[in-house]
Structures are given as C-alpha cells and as structure tokens.
A and B are shown apart, each in its own frame.
Chain A
Amino acid sequence: AQSVSQHNHHVILSEAASLELGCNYSYGGTVNLFWYVQYPGQHLQLLLKYFSGDPLVKGIKGFEAEFIKSKFSFNLRKPSVQWSDTAEYFCAVNASSSASKIIFGSGTRLSIRP
C-alpha cells in the first residue's frame, strides 16, 4: 500500500523567503503525485500534479515540484513566498491505475510573516 510522509508540520517564513516543503512517498510501482493547498476556510485546490514526463512540474501561483524517483520524493518549492501563501499544503499520491484512490500526507502548515 502506498503512503506519504510530510516531515515539516509547521513552517514559518518571512515574505520573499524561498520555500521548500518535503514530501516522500512509499510505493513500489508507478505513481501519480500531487500537491494540494487548503487556504483558511476554503476547500482543497490542486497546485500541481505529476503523471509522467519532465520531472520538474510547474503549477499555479509560482509553485513547482520536482519528482526524484531514486529518492521517492516530490518536494514543493517556491522561490519567493507571499503572505497570501499562508495555508495548509498536502502532498498526495496514487498508484498509476484507473480509479485508484489518493492517499494524503499529514500536511504542512505554512505561515508567512508580513
């Protein structure tokens, strides 16, 4: 069974700082990888996803993530964060088969100091 680990539970940064949130998954087969964001009081939104091809994936709002297969990692990055990036970030994985369930990591709360 697949699992996802997010080691940073709460990250606090100042505006304009660079961001990297860690995500590691455990699964022996081919996977699809996702990063979702949940702004305060709002529902989950997809930031970016990786299915195949270029391991460096660019998403919305300046976010990107790099799939490193040898490390089973899919870290999320942003070169310069803004106060509006304050939110909960979830890494997720599913096995590459149709109708497969998505398993979420425990989430990382990102707080940006203005």
Chain B
Amino acid sequence: GAVVSQHPSWVICKSGTSVKIECRSLDFQATTMFWYRQFPKQSLMLMATSNEGSKATYEQGVEKDKFLINHASLTLSTLTVTSAHPEDSSFYICSARRGDGDYGYTFGSGTRLTVV
C-alpha cells in the first residue's frame, strides 16, 4: 500500500534556528502534498498545499516566509520552519495524494517540534 515517510519524528531546537522536515512518498508518486499542523487535542489545520515543481499555496494566516515549502520531486516535499519561536512548537503532519484517480491521501507519522 501507499506509504509516506516523515522525518524526523521529533526535533528540539533553539529559538531563532531553522528546522527542516521531510515528507517522502515511498512507493508512489505524489503530485500533491499537504502540510498540516496539529495542536494538542485539536484537529489538523491545513497550512499549505504543494504541487511538484510549483510554488506552494498557503492557507490564510500562514506566513509563507516563515514556513518554507519545497516540493522538488514527485516523492519529496520539505517544510522548513525558519527562525523558530516557542509558539511554533507543534505537531506537523504531511499528507501525499497519489496521482491516480481515486484521490487517495496518505498521511505521514508526523513530526513533533519543540522550540526552546
């Protein structure tokens, strides 16, 4: 079945530094990938949609200069949290959509980011 690998699973960084999170589709080509943020005991909030080879589309209220998304290939999308602050601490989840017709979406296991 479709598998999405997300790395790292958890990361701790200092305020002001940048952190990169990778999302890879292991056995399929993902034409579209989505990045979500999940606060404790809350739902997933869509941050942005990325299509391979083009600029990401950000949801309202999400700072595109702070959350840099690069979808360089059909199997890899990266989210870079730049100049991280403690309020950026959260659980980040990626999702990949297969290029076939059944609109299948597969989710990564998430990345727990803690900014200290």
Which A residues are within 8 Å of any B CB, using their own CB? 32, 34, 36, 42-46, 51, 90, 94, 98-107, 109
Interface majority SS (helix, strand, loop, mixed), chain A: loop
Are B42 and A99 in touch, CB under 8 angstroms?
A: no
Interface of B is mostly: strand
Residues of B within 8 A of A (CB): 31-32, 34, 36, 41-46, 49, 51, 93, 95, 97, 102-103, 105, 107-110
A32 to B36, CA, bound (A): 19
CA distance A27 to B103 in the complex (A): 18
Q: CB distance A90 to B44 under 8 Å?
A: yes
B34 touches A102 (CB 8 A): yes
Chain A residues with Cβ under 8 A from B103's Cβ? 32, 51, 94, 98, 100
Q: Which listed residue, A34, A43, A90, A99, touches B49 by the CB 8 Å rule?
A: A99
| Neighbouring A residues of B105 by C-beta, 8 Å | 34, 46, 102
Residues of A within 8 A of B107 (CB): 36, 43-45
